Amino acid sequence: EPEVTQTPSHQVTQMGQEVILRCVPISNHLYFYWYRQILGQKVEFLVSFYNNEISEKSEIFDDQFSVERPDGSNFTLKIRSTKLEDSAMYFCASREQGAFNYGYTFGSGTRLTVV
Amino acid sequence: RKEVEQDPGPFNVPEGATVAFNCTYSNSASQSFFWYRQDCRKEPKLLMSVYSSGNEDGRFTAQLNRASQYISLLIRDSKLSDSATYLCVVNTNAGKSTFGDGTTLTVKP
């Protein structure tokens, strides 16, 4: 079964440092998403990406966050200057083009710990 | 009011029990609906889409009532492996899905 792959599985970083979380979506999927889940809380939408541009973003996705699809396979989330409250599990997801009534396939997540 | 609201739970049931989860959503423009399950510290996994006509997948039955903005999930003959958090998810457009807080189910021997 096709998978969404995320690396690293766990990242520890110091407050103020930049981090890049990486995702390889399923190859024939064209819609990409980042979500986050703070421990013990709900899954929260960050951003959606289609046709090489952001299609929607949440209030959480401020100027400290950016996304990129640098090479046609990877999809990255960058946090420029991490804060303690950025500690969370970050999930990448992808969906088939035109399959609006289909759910997402999520990657296994990157656990980000900011110290 | 939350966009997607679920039964707070937790639900603790014996093996073989039938259990039902409820979910309501606030945006009448919502277009598609899903149930996901999430195991502890794992990613959400799609359980099933929810259609107005209702749909069934083995022991799982999902229902949607657009007029009441209400979604349900029924699990029959619960198994130990059904223990997880069940997430109600609503799409309002192609951009994002909104997740409920989740309802935790524990099935005991």
Query: How far is Cα B74 from Cα B54, in angstroms, rounded to an integer?
Result: 11
Within 8 A by CB and 6+ apart from B70, the residues are B22, B23, B24, B64
Region B84-90: mean pLDDT is 96
What's the pLDDT score for residue A39?
94
pLDDT tens figures, B22-70? 999 999 888 889 999 999 989 999 999 998 888 999 999 999 999 999 9
Asked if A42's CB is within 8 angstroms of B99's CB, the reply is yes
Residue B61 is encoded by which pair of tokens?
Answer: 């039955």
Judge whether B18 and B30 are in contact, CB under 8 Å.
no
Pairwise CB contact (< 8 Å): A100 & B41: no
Query: Cβ contacts (< 8 Å) between B34 and chain A: which residues?
Result: 103
pLDDT digits (tens, 9 = 90+) for A22-76: 999 998 888 899 999 999 999 999 999 988 899 889 999 999 999 999 887 899 9
Residues in B closer than 8 angstroms to A58, CB to CB, are 96
What does the DSSP 8-state code read for residue B67? T
